[in-house]
Structure 1
Amino acid sequence: MRIYVTSVLVDDQAKALKFYTDKLGFILKHDIPVGEHRWLTVVSKEQPEGTELLLEPGAHPAVQPFKDALVKDGIPATSFQVQDLNAEFARLRELGVVFTLEPMDAGSVRMAVLDDTCGNLIQLVEMKQELPA
């Protein structure tokens, strides 16, 4: 068994697609109309056949209070791994991405947290050392 798709709840699918592709560098995998929304997934350029990230519409009434609580408490909705956190931080900052937490050491990782402009905080993680299997 493997993870096929995971999701992040977004306020606006079109805005999310632009941010996740133009800023974060993911590539569009699927864009299929489903009623008033879309089955809209992106994947890593490094793993185009890997796990898909569904930019899921946050239309359910429970979504906004949930997302608001996470953001208020500084809790990321999801986490993405990068090879060089400092380089990625500089690249994204140059593109105007807002960080709520600048790169810092956290045990076996370095991490930073950004605002995805769609109602979520996203954590970026660089592994400082390989974790045991």
Structure 2
Amino acid sequence: MEIALTSLFVDDQREALAFYTDVLGFVKRQDIPLGMHSWLTVVSPEAPDGPELLLEPSHHPAVKPYREAMIHDGIPLAQFAVGDVEAEYARLAGRGVVFTQPPLDIGAAVVAIFDDTCGNLIQLMEPKPDEDPS
């Protein structure tokens, strides 16, 4: 069993697509019209056949209170692994991305959290290699 697709609720699919591709650097994988919305996914350019991120319309009534509570508590709704959080922080901040938490060493990883402009907090994480205790 493997993860093939995961969803992230977004306020506007076209704005989300622009942010996730033009700013973050993901690649559009699928864009299938479904009435007023689309089945719209992006993938990492490093893993074009890897897991897809579905940019899901946030029109369901349960989404707004859920996301508001998560943002209020500072909890990210997705985590993206990067090789160097400090470098990614500098790159994205230079592109106007607003971070709610700058890079922070939490022991097992370095993390940073940003606002995706689509209604979500997203965490970048750079896992640290396991240290040999011997």
Which TM class, normalised by the smaller chain length? Answer: over 0.9
Q: Corresponding residue for 1:81?
A: 81
Aligned-residue RMSD, C-alpha: 1.0
Q: Corresponding residue for 1:52?
A: 52
Written as runs of structure 1 = structure 2, the 5 A alignment for 1:1-133 is 1-130=1-130
Structure number with larger C-alpha Rg: 2
Amino acid at match of 1:105: D
Q: CA deviation at 1:109?
A: 0.2
Q: Secondary structure at the match of 1:83?
A: coil
Write out per-residue CA displacement over residues 98-123 of structure 1, whole angstroms, 9 at most, x where no aligned residue: 00000001121000000000000000
Q: CA deviation at 1:82?
A: 0.2
Moved over 6 A (4+): none
Alpha-carbon distance in 1 for matches of 2:61, 2:124: 28
TM-score normalised by structure 1 residue count: 0.96
Amino acid at match of 1:125: M
Q: Secondary structure at the match of 1:32?
A: strand
Alpha-carbon distance in 1 for matches of 2:121, 2:80: 11
The verdict on how the C-alpha distance between 1:5 and 1:88 changes in structure 2, with shifts beyond 3 A counting, is same
Q: Secondary structure at the match of 1:92?
A: helix
Alpha-carbon distance in 2 for matches of 1:64, 1:41: 21
Q: CA deviation at 1:127?
A: 1.0
Q: CA deviation at 1:48?
A: 0.2
Stretches of structure 2 that go unaligned for 5 or more consecutive residues are: none
TM-score normalised by structure 2 residue count: 0.96
Stretches of structure 1 that go unaligned for 5 or more consecutive residues are: none
How many pairs were matched up? 131
Amino acid at match of 1:31: D
Alpha-carbon distance in 2 for matches of 1:28, 1:113: 23
Q: Secondary structure at the match of 1:75?
A: coil
Alpha-carbon distance in 2 for matches of 1:16, 1:130: 35
Q: CA deviation at 1:130?
A: 4.2
Q: CA deviation at 1:32?
A: 0.4
Alpha-carbon distance in 2 for matches of 1:81, 1:60: 29
Q: CA deviation at 1:69?
A: 0.5
Alpha-carbon distance in 1 for matches of 2:124, 2:57: 22
